[in-house]
Amino acid sequence: MKVGIIGCGFIGSELAYFMDKSKDFQLIGMNDIDKNKVYGLIKNLKGNNPKFMDIDELIKKSDLIVESATKNIVKDILSNKNLDKKNKRLLIMSTGGLIGSLKLLNNIKNCEILLPSGAIAGLDAIKSVSGKIKSLNLATTKPVKGLEGAPYILKNKIVLSDITGKRTVFKGNLSDAVGGFPQNINVAAALFLASKFDNIKVKIIADKNAKYNTHEIEAIGDFGVITIKTQNLPSKNPKTSYLALLSAVQMIKSLKNNVKIGS
């Protein structure tokens, strides 16, 4: 399977190394706004010899396109003329980018869209009760460093260094959370796409002493109550949970598995 990766940060780089060791995948192309990242990564690969490609060429030549850049690129990928073809797959890590591109997503008829569960668990259960949910809440607690540079933090002049314990820095709806914390809140977008519930309540907490990125989900309906809690160690990128990478690797591995677990 020929693979192209868009975005060569922590997740994109680690997926490139995974592809480099796999006999089932051939990494043929990579793209990043910083070309030096791509060329530096290519030098470290041993089993594959991918090329820097523009996005059009990468999508055209790849069987599996992996987006691991930012939510801002998702719209361009979904609208690319080379994407919606049979036997193509697109794996999206920046699920927050889908919230403003749902029409484009729904118009995709041939390309298979893959959305890893990322930094949370329990999306199978949430999908199973879609349409029966009466309330859905997400509380995300992050170390202070994981929230640095977020547009909402900057706009509201929140001084993270002044936080001595825990502080709720945001309470609101999904749309505002995705816009205000684009590198932190892919979890909320994945939750919406699984639940199809329009009134998700999001709370974001900064914790100076936190060791983990913690996500707590509560769904209530006629089915009862679903409570999900994950505590993830940050990756080398403090804005990204290590579990998000592992989730992507597992989804890619499953493409070659004939036994599927979960929906």
Task: Look up the CATH number of the domain holding residue 187.
Answer: 3.30.360.10
- Catalytic annotation on 215? yes
Tell me the DSSP string of 24-37: S-EEEEEE-SSHHH
Return the SS3 of 216: strand
Final residue of a domain: which of 82, 115, 148? Answer: 115
Q: How confident is the prediction for the chain on average, in pLDDT?
A: 94
**254, part of any domain:** no
| pLDDT tens digits along 120-149 | 999 999 999 999 999 999 999 999 999 999
The answer to whether residue 190 scores a pLDDT higher than 60 is yes
Q: How many structural domains does the chain have?
A: 2
Name the amino acid, one letter, at 30.
M
Same structural domain for residues 92 and 155?
Answer: no
Query: Would you state the pLDDT for residue 257?
Result: 78
Residue ranges making up the domain that contains 108 = 2-115
Same structural domain for residues 87 and 178?
Answer: no
Mean pLDDT throughout 13-33? 96
Same structural domain for residues 154 and 221?
Answer: yes
The answer to whether residue 262 scores a pLDDT higher than 70 is no
Contact between 123 and 194 (Cβ < 8 Å): yes
Mean pLDDT throughout 228-241? 88
Q: What burial letters (b/e) apply to 193-218, b meaning 16+ CB within 10 Å?
A: bbbebeebbbbbbbbeebeebbbbbe
Beta-ladder partners of 168:
205
The answer to whether residue 263 scores a pLDDT higher than 70 is no
Q: How many helices (H) and strands (E) does the chain have?
A: 10, 11
| pLDDT tens digits along 235-255 | 888 878 899 999 999 999 999
Annotated catalytic residue within 215, 217, 235, 238? 215
